[in-house]
């Protein structure tokens, strides 16, 4: 009996390891293999000329355009200048949305009056594509830099506010009652119980919001822009420069993926207990 206990007790089993939790395990190697296969197919299709270069340029052509865009520029600016313009718009809108949407979402979750005030307009415009209210934004604010940031901000605000509200509503009522029973004030309960419990949903809303922001970037840079990654892609599409279009798409995807990884890292630091309790 002692030998059996020592055998099984040598290393405690982690939660979900005995029977297997859904989706448990690392998938990084699978993602790397999938990426390698897709890139290999791209090389194969273009080298065998199964698709005309006008529709699918080769990876070598896209890389050559990337080098040319970095040095000589494209559409009147270098790739670094286009990227800097787009990053300033997306992240400016994102941080502004974080400063407003998260407090509004938390307020909607803890106060029925706030929910009654903010819920109708958010739920009304949330399903609308940004191109639908782009003309109205131009009429109201002109064609300067502010309407571009404002359009991206509106696209990010709704999912972040809804995620924050959902996080507040998902807090266990037993936790709230226990905090009040221990003498906590309403402000302390919101800051130390509700807000911490809602952090996983808030971070999920941030990831969704920044993704929506990048998808709205192209629409925002339709407003009389002279530089930006979205502007570069739109300008290249008018001249059927598919190598520039694909290069711009790849650059946007890399920036978006890198920021998503950063948010995931910050989430692990801020919520070390996620998935463990």
> What distances in angstroms separate CA 56 from CA 42, 68, 156, 234, one per listed residue?
9, 19, 32, 17
Helices (H), 111-144: 112-125, 130-141
Q: What tokens does 24 get?
A: 């448990």
Can you say how many angstroms the Cα of residue 200 is from the centroid of all Cα atoms in its chain? 14
Q: Which residues pair with 77 in a beta bridge?
A: 74
The predicted-structure confidence for 12-50, as pLDDT tens digits, reads as follows 555 555 555 666 667 778 888 998 999 999 999 988 888
Weakest-pLDDT range from 42-51, 170-179, 237-246: 170-179
**Which pLDDT tens digit goes with each residue over 180-225?**
888 888 888 888 888 888 899 999 999 999 999 998 988 888 777 7
Distance in angstroms (rounded) separating the CA atoms of residues 195 and 193: 6
Distance between CA 141 and CA 196 in Å, rounded?
A: 38
Looking at per-residue pLDDT, the higher value among 217 and 276 belongs to 217
According to CATH, the superfamily of the domain at 55-270 is MetI-like (1.10.3720.10)
| Helix axis angle, 79-110 to 145-169, nearest 10° | 40
Lowest mean pLDDT among 20-24, 67-71, 84-88: 20-24
User: What pLDDT shows up at residue 7?
Assistant: 44
Q: Are residues 54 and 67 in contact, defined by beta-carbon separation less than 8 angstroms? A: no
Q: How far is CA 45 from CA 35, 56, 247, in A?
A: 15, 9, 18
């Amino acid at each position: 009996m002692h030998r059996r206990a020592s055998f099984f007790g040598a290393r405690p089993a982690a939660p979900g390891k005995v029977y297997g939790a859904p989706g448990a395990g690392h998938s990084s190697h699978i993602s790397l293999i999938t990426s390698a296969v897709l890139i290999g197919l791209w090389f194969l299709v273009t080298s065998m000329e199964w698709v005309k270069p006008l529709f699918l340029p080769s990876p070598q052509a896209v890389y050559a355009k990337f080098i040319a865009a970095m040095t000589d520029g494209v559409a009147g600016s270098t790739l670094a200048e286009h990227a800097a313009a787009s990053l300033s718009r997306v992240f400016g809108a994102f941080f502004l949305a974080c400063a407003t949407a998260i407090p509004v979402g938390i307020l909607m979750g803890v106060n029925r009056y706030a929910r009654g005030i903010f819920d109708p307009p958010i739920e009304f415009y949330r399903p609308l594509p940004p191109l639908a209210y782009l003309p109205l934004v131009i009429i109201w604010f002109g064609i300067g830099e502010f309407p571009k940031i404002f359009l991206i901000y509106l696209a990010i605000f709704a999912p972040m506010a809804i995620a924050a509200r959902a996080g507040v509503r998902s807090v266990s009522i037993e936790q709230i009652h226990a905090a009040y029973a221990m003498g906590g004030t309403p402000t302390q309960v919101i800051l130390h119980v509700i807000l911490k419990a809602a952090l996983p949903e808030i971070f999920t809303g941030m990831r969704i919001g920044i993704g929506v922001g990048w998808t709205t970037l192209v629409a925002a840079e339709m407003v009389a822009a002279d530089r930006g990654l979205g502007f570069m892609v739109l300008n290249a599409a008018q001249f059927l420069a598919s190598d520039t279009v694909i290069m711009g798409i790849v650059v946007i995807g890399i920036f978006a993926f890198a920021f998503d990884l950063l948010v995931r890292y910050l989430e692990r630091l801020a919520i070390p207990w996620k998935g463990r309790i």
